[in-house]
Amino acid sequence: MASKAFKKLPPDVRRELLRHVKPITPVSSSSSSAAHKKKFENLEAVGNNRSNSAKKWLLGCVGFVGAAASIPYFATRRIGNLTARDDPLGANQIRRGAFNNSGSRDAGKDPNWDLKTGTYVYPPGFAEHLKKQNPNETDLGPDIGPMVLAEKKQQRSQQ
């Protein structure tokens, strides 16, 4: 308890700190008091080593996080950007790439998207097609649509 920092404290603060610390029982033999003194010196030395080991841990953690954070950067450098390619995706990229589980080899840039204006350019005749559609009716496609329309006609004729 007789460290330099402790001795620099005002007497009232030292008294208050000593009140909260278990007192050291005096030991009769001089060898054991030397052992106590050595023990406290070792404790102070551990504090200095702790700051060095804390620096090592901090540098190790920062290094690990930095290495882990750089993995995506180096991966995109090696593989390339999957969403900005013009060529079709390979088999491995289809399975594990940007279009996961789609199974589509034609996924990529949309030919109807205008990059300069940032708008979608509709194919010719598409506006007329939309005008012919009834927005209140669901389009079920060519497979199921005719069957559903036939069922609706039959229900109307029965009523």
Distance CA 150, CA 42 (A): 93
The answer to whether 82 and 65 are in contact (CB under 8 A) is: no
Please name every residue paired with 114 in a beta bridge, in sequence order, or none if there are none: 119
What is the distance of C-alpha 41 from the center of its chain?
45
- Give the pTM: 0.28
Write down the domain spans for the chain.
4-20+37-79
Q: Is the dihedral of CA 35, 40, 45, 50 positive or negative?
A: positive
What does each of the 159 residues of the chain score in pLDDT, given as a tens digit?
467 887 888 888 888 887 777 666 655 555 567 776 777 666 655 555 667 778 888 999 999 999 999 998 898 888 877 667 677 766 666 656 554 555 555 556 778 888 888 888 888 888 788 788 777 777 776 677 778 888 888 989 987
Q: At 81, list the tokens.
A: 């950007």
